[in-house]
Structure 1
Amino acid sequence: MSSETITSLSSTIVKTTEEAVKLVKTKEEIISQVNLVKGNVKLLETAIKSIIGSQEQTENPFRLEGNLALLKYYLAKLQYLLHESKVLHLKVNINNFSPLKGGTSTYVSLPDFISRKRAVINVKNNDSFCFLWAVVSARYPAKNKHPERITSYPHFKDVLKYDSIQFPIKLNDIKKFEKLNGLCINLYCIEKKNVLPLSLSEYRNSNREPINLLVLSTENSNNNSSPEFSKERTLFHFAWIKKMSALLSKQLSSHGHKTFICYRCLNHFSSDGLLKKHLIYCNNMNKCALKLPKESDKILQFKHFSYKEKVPFAIYADLESILEPCESLGADNGKTVNYQNHTAFSVAYYLKCSYDDSLSSFKLYRNHDCISWFISELKDIAFNLIAHQDCNLNYQNSFNIPVVFHNLSGYDSNFIMKHGNWFCRSNSVTPGTEVQLRFIDSYRFMSSSLDKLSSYLEDEKKTIVRAHCNTDKEFNLLTRKGVFPYDYIDSWERFTETCLPSKTNFYWDFKLSDTPSRITNLDDINYIATYISYLPFVNLGT
């Protein structure tokens, strides 16, 4: 096969390729299998070789070069005889190519308040290599009057190393770039028209000259209309900060003179000597800016004295449930076992007034609609407190009523939040005055059982329970942790029973174990007997 034949064949490939590709970035993959015969050997042997052409991104798919892999191979292997060589097959693969994180220009114009300072060189790139152009502009400053043009600098591929780094570059790949090129790169961002450190180089203490880059987000820019710049992708544009003093002088001081700025914490000094003294200590500290308090605000002290005042009212509540066995003990997806259905049957609450104990009260309600009753009580309390004369005189501003449950988030809230649509509204009667309910889980602050917590409180301080007891014996019985047959109360009919269940029924099979926790302690058994004999007992519901 002659050289003219191969040249003609390559021209056909180029023409066919140009007609096939679309107006998108492409990758070419040339795969050819050629039967080549090598001369000047004793035994003629056939060498079958597969050639995969180098995959190169074409900047303009309509200007494909003719230096295909087949031609390159032919020119490099002239020692093969042409008269007995032939092409077995040739395949050209053309694929759409979308580089990671976009392939169009990442250029973003500077904000007006930045560009007016003439302190930042923003190279107007037409590709996704704005980071490389910014570094090149810092290392090889433009010698003409057009530092924004890429033609004012050497091409980055000739002066920088960026192997295995994808572009547009990710922020966490900049460290790798620093190692490849021996650079020290600091990044700064704009927040509320202030320039702040974004990422400081690990090599700031070395002899490397720092390169300071301003990072701009492209997500809100109108410069890029390509669909590749979607909201799901946050791309960045980089520009070289040529004059840090000019960029930050107005931000840090008002005198307008040149300042010597610490790139790390952005503190400024009047001379280079003072800056060098500062850097000795600053480089050994954390990566953050130091902002000292002003003379008028240098002492930290408590100011919100209103938070130390007691709230006018507080509600302490609890509820109990019937543990109804589920009809089916089957598991959902083999994980959750349907064991019991918890139905609230009783709610009790104590309303405590901090300034007038005559307004304090205790209420208990047991019925199917106990939760609805409790919600209605909360509504009435909120409304009555707004209309109460003393509350309006003593608490002109809005205030909250704490509603305290022990283990609210773990259990009680499952029943109460079914009526949560009412709690989302404020109860306001007169303008400027409203009462809001604030539900609090006391277990989050005191993670112990109520029995243990109450044991820390001396009997003299249990004034609320004492007020409802006639004798010391009754007081001692009511302040002790009771014994309740949780699993035995599985229906409303249990409350009508006039006799206590046997001690074997005083258990709680909470962990679904083979041996449920039963009452075997002699003190608990004696407590039940004493309670029944001393306090009035009609049925399990009283």
Structure 2
Amino acid sequence: MAVHKIDPVKTDYICGHCELEDKSLRIIWEHVVERHKTIDETEERRICLYDMNVFQNDRAYAAHMLNEHGLPAWDVSREILTSIQPETAFDGAVRTYDIVPMETEVDLLALFVTKRDEIEELILQNTMYEPQKAQLSAEVTLQKEKADGTEEVITIFANCKMLAVDVQGWTQDQFYDCVDQILSTVHQYASHGSGWRIRRIDKIVLKMVKSAPIRGSSYLPLPADLLKLKRFLLNIRNYEDDRCFEYCFVAEYHRQNNIPLTLRTMQSKEEEKASFYDYRRNSRAHEPTGDFVYPMGLPAIARFEILNEVQVNVFRYNEKTLLPLRVSKYQTNFVVDLLLLNDMGTHHYVVIKDLNKLVSKMQKRKLRSRNMLCRNCFHRCSSQERLERHQLICMGNEPAIVTMPNADKSSVGFKNIGARSYSPFAVYFDLESVLEKVETVRNNPNCSSTTVIEKHKPSSFCLVVVEAGNPKPAFFSLHRGVDAMTKFVRMLEVLARDFHNKKRRYPNYLGSTTILEDSDKCWICEEEFSETNAKVLDHNHFDGSFLGWAHNKCNFLRRTIQFTPVFAHNLQNYDLHHVLKSLQDTNTRNTFSVIPLNDEKFISLTMKVWIRSYTNEKGNVYNVYEEIRFVDSCKFMNSSLDELARNLPVEKFIYLNNHFATRPEEDKALIRQKGYFPYSYVDSHARYTEDGLPARDKWTNTLQGGVVSVSEKECQHAWGCIFANM
């Protein structure tokens, strides 16, 4: 009861004794157990888990929860379980336990802490004989007050990931990780001003599912392909029981420790007898520690390793290939490698005496100096030091083997024919703002807060339209003024209507096919024509030009892109915020949709500009739209514009060179470089009317503490850019 949340809508936790904070509930709880082992006489009283206040009676506690945290009061004395009888399904393979408070419960964290013992007891009861999978969830009812005074009520289900548990039960880490997942799901609803709050917690649900892990059981003979490699294997014949795993462990224990099992030397056939390794029939045989259910499943091996201080790795044989199945992370000098055979659902463990040599023979490689083998991927290293460096990364991944493709499958071809389509138009824009100073009072430095010092107001924009096949900009606009954003969105509407008309100028090819050059290959996929895939003519719908001969299927897949992309660098973090605020100035018939990243950022904005309406024969009215989509170029060019411009060759500045064709080359060089601007100085539109650039001491940056951000050379560069654009 000494852990509580700092805020009901956040995911940070705090120790109620020493105020240690952490985002992990498990870490804070372990801290409380280790550092504050005892709880004083207030343990029997009511404690608020949110601020650790202690109350002498339930009435005072309920009033505090309602007034301070907005959580309704309830009758604490009746908070008992109503049902822990399971509901079964699939012949008992799935068992569901409902933990239901009698009265309204709203403190989810406190409920989990209170019911932890019951949850762990139920898990232990189900995993006593075999490992299972467990999932914890909560059914919570939320309520929100509407604008008309009525209340809206919904029920949500917050789940954690299903975890595998064995006879050891649910560990402390697993329990608190699950609680963290459930609390995070609930808090997503009741955060960021959504208005939702917890009305009651209906129940906690524990679901237990019987798993069917792979188990080694009775004897299976070696496959024919492995008979020639049997000198590296030990296949113990256990016909009468399913304890092949135990016999393999005992055999390796005696072999690696040079402890004989008999008074005389064993013959090869005698080594394969199960009776030699059964401590119940051979007093010299080593007895494993711990009681286990046989046949041994893979999930139970982890507990066997801890009790017997052994590392057990399991491999499987499939299509003449040895593959890692279970590679242990338990560190010890005693390592046992096992091969798991499979025949029609029956499994059997076989001892691998020398994994290094077995893999070398199967891969038909010589050992030489690269004899250090990684069990997780079968990569070979020349020294133990290199193997340890390799395993630091490799052991963090699932067991896998890198296999090279066959000669007939060694090449990868382009298959996404639809990606060959291009947009006939693309729009590029950039916004600039004036930074208006905000008069405010200074916040308390002892409290966490945000101080607003400047307000960004868009003051200008530059917009360029690029048309496919045209080396010059199809449209260019540069505007500065108070109405910059209104003019920007209305200009996009005009451009969208123009795009709509131009895209549908040539639905059919109007030229003569007799003068066209014939081809034996499709111009899209570059493969030859066949009788099953006819040859058709492919043309440009925007200018009517002939593109080439194509397969009928390729021509169908190369569809025209129906939207026009509008690009801006760093759109998601800056420009899109100004665009969204200006959409109200567009036609009311336009429609908009966004792809949100979170409550404050959006990945993309789609604007459908209304073109016209028409009525069909049945009298139904339909609207025609032209779609433009805002895209952040940082998503596929994650570098600054300065770096991108420096990496681009001069001859690739096609549109810039054509637009400023009459300018001298030294002016173009200035424009291609990074520009400098006194952002903090330009705090109103009146700054644009001043003659000349401000003095160097005015080129400050508020976010950098008022330090002069440019050199004298950079000021001259900015002055040169202004004259270059005049």
Q: Which has the higher contact order (CA 8 A, sep 6+)?
A: 1
Q: Kindly name which structure, 1 or 2, has the bigger radius of gyration based on alpha carbons.
A: 1
